[in-house]
């Protein structure tokens, strides 16, 4: 008698519990692919949907009844004309679905204007979170449409270049319950808008005014926000010390402050903020101060809860880190990138007190040796991220220390560390939890070193091998077997890679972002194998791959329908292939088409007409500006496409 499958013992409640513990997309895909029951449970559990093609929205809505979050940011053709068609395609029986949607992402939907926004707001009436970042044409009318969402709590307006104080006034009056607002790069918002914001949105907890042309008067208004916990004001070049004094007298709930790249501030003024806010959890002041005085650091004795500190770009001393190490015992992150004066002694003194560090940025601290890394490895056993770009005095010994002690390390940047070799990579491969590894410009590594990672680090998602001349086809063969979860790979100028390497990459089904600049030994054969295997490719850079013929580009047009960004500059593509490619890639939004010597002006004209409704960014030779028809250029711009003439 055949024994029943153990799967029959799993109730729906147990399956829902299991899937709630699967945070990795790869694992969830495996779960729902197991059987029809698992697929059904995944459909019931899913609350977030990222739509790749708008025409499938109506079908997907019926499959996932528990959705409360919708992301349309990667959809092509989201504009005023497609919104009515998109929403009308939703089955009438799914009307309650629209009311369940609480979060909507419309980032980079550059073709969307007031009519479309008004229709969206009327359809999704219960929205609490809206992201319209990088919708550069968004202005006051669009803001007025969003202001009808009385229940709105989170709004991202980053780089909405046409929003002024008038539009902001509409939002703060119509949405008084806002808790989070980002106005980064909204250059037309001034002190007047921030003043009104402080009066109307009394529940605000998170505010980002980075790169605005606001003055210290805005911080006077911000100081009256009693519930504000997070203030980001990166690059506010008009704010001076008086602004920090205002903050010091207000914002009683402040926990996170980012004043990076504010070059008119002094460390003495920041003292007033520190004294009044001993509960600060994060303090970021990268590239704001030329030097960090010891007298300033003595104030850190009051910051007993500080968990994140960034002082990149400043001059420091041994005493500086002795003070930080003695007072900031709970630090989990410190940023010291490009700090002058960082020595082994500095690091040893710091980590003797800050043993809980998990994120450590030492980019361009070129005086550090293996002794510093040894101290970090032996003291900070929970280290998860270490950035060591351009630390050229480090050798394989540093990686031996890390491999022996930092088993939780999941990200390390060793770009341009000339002392790194294959033996060092063998030691580092003991960190089996690695997800991101950057080895660009490490000229002393080879296929052998790469094979160690392929054997021991199956969770690698991102790998940078830029200009690693010792890496070739054998190394890629190892990756294709051991690193099945790889999503991003940079192989630019790894000139030893040939078509055989591309065939190996074709086995990496999860690969979505691939950079292959300047590979002279790749032909159409290799690109065909790559395209046929990597159906998830969304970003592909083939700049100066001069030996790929049309057969490779035809394969891309047929297999790579998920491509969103492509760089073909310097390729030998023809008129016909370019037209086929641009017409077939229905999700393409960003194309770089410079120095295509085999493509005529007529070829460009036809290719751009085939995709003008989808493109959001386009790079062309300046000489084409006079050769393309005015109608084509105007159509691209009207659809929200930003053209860069090179």
C-alpha span between 367 and 338 (Å, rounded):
11
pLDDT at 26 over 70: no
pLDDT at 327 over 50: yes
pLDDT band of 64, cuts 50, 70, 90:
confident
Give the best-scoring range by mean pLDDT among 26-40, 90-104, 558-572.
558-572
pLDDT at 405 over 50: yes
Burial 223-238 (b: 16+ CB within 10 A, else e): bebeebbbbbbbbbee
Nearest to 272, CA basis, from 287, 251, 289, 291: 251
DSSP state letters, 125-190: TT--EEE-TT-TT-BHHHHHHHTT-TT--EEE-TT-TB--HHHHHHHHHH-TT--EEE-TT-TT--
pTM: 0.92
C-alpha span between 560 and 412 (Å, rounded):
31
Query: What value, to the nearest 5°, has the Cα angle with vertex 383 and ends 379 and 385?
Result: 140
Mean pLDDT of all residues in 162-176: 96
Q: What proportion of the chain, given as a percentage, has pLDDT over 90?
A: 79
Q: Which residues contact 555 (CB under 8 A, 6 or more apart)?
A: 524, 527, 528, 531, 532
pLDDT at 87 over 50: yes
> How many residues appear in the chain?
646
Compute the half-sphere exposure of residue 546: CA atoms within 13 Å on the CB side of its CA: 8
pLDDT band of 1, cuts 50, 70, 90:
very low
Nearest to 327, CA basis, from 361, 343, 350, 295: 350
pLDDT at 88: 81
Nearest to 104, CA basis, from 92, 94, 119: 119
Alpha carbon distance, N-terminus to C-terminus of the chain: 73
C-alpha span between 21 and 518 (Å, rounded):
42
Flag the least confident range among 54-63, 162-171, 380-389, 626-635. 54-63
Q: Do the Cβ atoms of 362 and 385 come closer than 8 Å?
A: no
Cα distances (angstroms) measured from residue 71 to each of 49, 153, 233:
6, 17, 27
pLDDT band of 5, cuts 50, 70, 90:
low
Average pLDDT value over all residues in the chain: 92
Q: What is the number of other CB atoms lying within 10 angstroms of the CB of residue 2? A: 4
pLDDT at 302 over 80: yes
Mean pLDDT of all residues in 169-191: 97
Give the best-scoring range by mean pLDDT among 51-55, 69-73, 112-116, 488-492.
488-492
pLDDT tens track for 561-589: 999 999 999 999 999 999 999 999 988 99
pLDDT tens track for 193-252: 999 999 999 999 999 999 999 999 999 999 999 999 999 999 999 999 999 999 999 999
């Amino acid at each position: 008698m055949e024994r029943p499958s153990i799967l029959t013992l799993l109730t729906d409640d147990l399956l829902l519990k299991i899937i709630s513990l699967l945070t990795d997309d790869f694992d969830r895909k495996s779960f729902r692919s197991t059987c029809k029951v698992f697929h059904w449970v995944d459909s019931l559990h899913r609350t977030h949907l990222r739509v790749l093609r708008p025409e499938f929205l109506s079908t997907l809505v019926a499959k996932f009844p528990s959705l409360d979050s919708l992301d349309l940011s990667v959809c092509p053709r989201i504009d005023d004309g497609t919104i009515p068609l998109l929403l009308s395609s939703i089955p009438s029986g799914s009307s309650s679905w629209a009311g369940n949607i609480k979060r909507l992402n419309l980032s980079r939907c550059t073709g969307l204007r007031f009519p479309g926004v008004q229709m969206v707001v009327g359809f999704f009436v219960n929205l609490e979170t809206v992201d319209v970042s990088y919708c550069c044409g968004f202005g006051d009318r669009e803001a007025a449409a969003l202001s009808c969402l009385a229940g709105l709590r989170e709004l991202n307006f980053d780089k909405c270049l046409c929003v002024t104080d008038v539009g902001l006034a509409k939002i703060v009056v119509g949405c008084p319950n806002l808790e989070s607002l980002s106005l980064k790069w909204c250059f037309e918002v001034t002190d007047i808008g921030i003043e009104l914001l402080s009066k109307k949105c009394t529940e605000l907890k998170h505010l980002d005014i980075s790169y605005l042309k606001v003055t210290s008067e805005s911080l006077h208004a911000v100081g009256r926000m009693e519930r504000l916990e997070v203030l980001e004001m990166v690059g506010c070049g008009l704010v001076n010390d008086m602004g920090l004094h205002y903050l010091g007298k207000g914002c009683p709930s402040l926990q996170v402050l980012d004043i990076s790249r504010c070059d008119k501030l002094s460390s003495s003024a920041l003292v007033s903020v520190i004294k009044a806010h001993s509960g600060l959890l994060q303090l970021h002041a990268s590239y704001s101060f030329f030097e960090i005085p010891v007298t300033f650091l003595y104030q850190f004795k009051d910051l007993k809860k500080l968990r994140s500190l960034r002082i990149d770009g400043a001059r420091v001393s041994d005493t500086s880190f002795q003070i930080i190490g003695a007072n900031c015992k709970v630090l989990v992150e410190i940023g010291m990138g490009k700090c002058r004066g960082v020595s082994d002694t500095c690091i040893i003194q710091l980590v003797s007190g800050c043993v809980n560090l998990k994120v450590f940025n030492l980019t361009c601290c070129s005086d550090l040796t293996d002794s510093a890394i040894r101290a970090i490895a032996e003291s900070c056993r929970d280290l998860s991220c270490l950035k060591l770009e351009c630390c050229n005095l480090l050798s394989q010994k540093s990686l031996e220390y890390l491999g022996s002690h930092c088993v939780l390390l999941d990200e390390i940047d060793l770009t341009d560390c000339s002392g790194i070799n294959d033996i060092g990579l063998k030691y580092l491969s003991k960190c089996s939890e690695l997800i991101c590894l950057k080895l660009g410009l490490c000229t002393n590594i080879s296929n052998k070193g790469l094979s160690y990672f392929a054997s021991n680090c199956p969770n690698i998602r991102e790998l940078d091998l830029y200009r690693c001349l010792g890496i070739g086809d054998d190394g890629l063969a190892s990756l294709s077997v051991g690193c099945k979860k790889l999503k991003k790979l940079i192989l630019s100028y790894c000139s030893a890679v040939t078509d055989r390497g591309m065939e190996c990459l074709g086995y990496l089904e999860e690969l979505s972002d691939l950079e292959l600049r300047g590979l002279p030994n790749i032909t159409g054969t290799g690109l065909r194998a790559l395209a046929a295997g990597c159906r998830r490719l969304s970003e592909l850079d083939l700049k100066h791959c001069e030996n790929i013929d049309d057969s490779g580009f035809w394969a891309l047009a047929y297999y790579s329908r998920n491509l969103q960004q492509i760089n073909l500059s310097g390729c030998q593509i023809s008129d016909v292939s370019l037209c086929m490619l641009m017409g077939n890639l229905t999700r393409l939004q960003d194309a770089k088409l410079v120095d295509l010597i085999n493509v005529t002006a007529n070829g460009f004209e036809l290719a751009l007409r085939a995709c003008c409704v989808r493109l959001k960014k386009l790079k062309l030779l300046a000489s084409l500006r006079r050769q393309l028809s005015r109608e084509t250029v105007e159509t691209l711009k009207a659809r929200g496409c930003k053209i860069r003439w090179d």
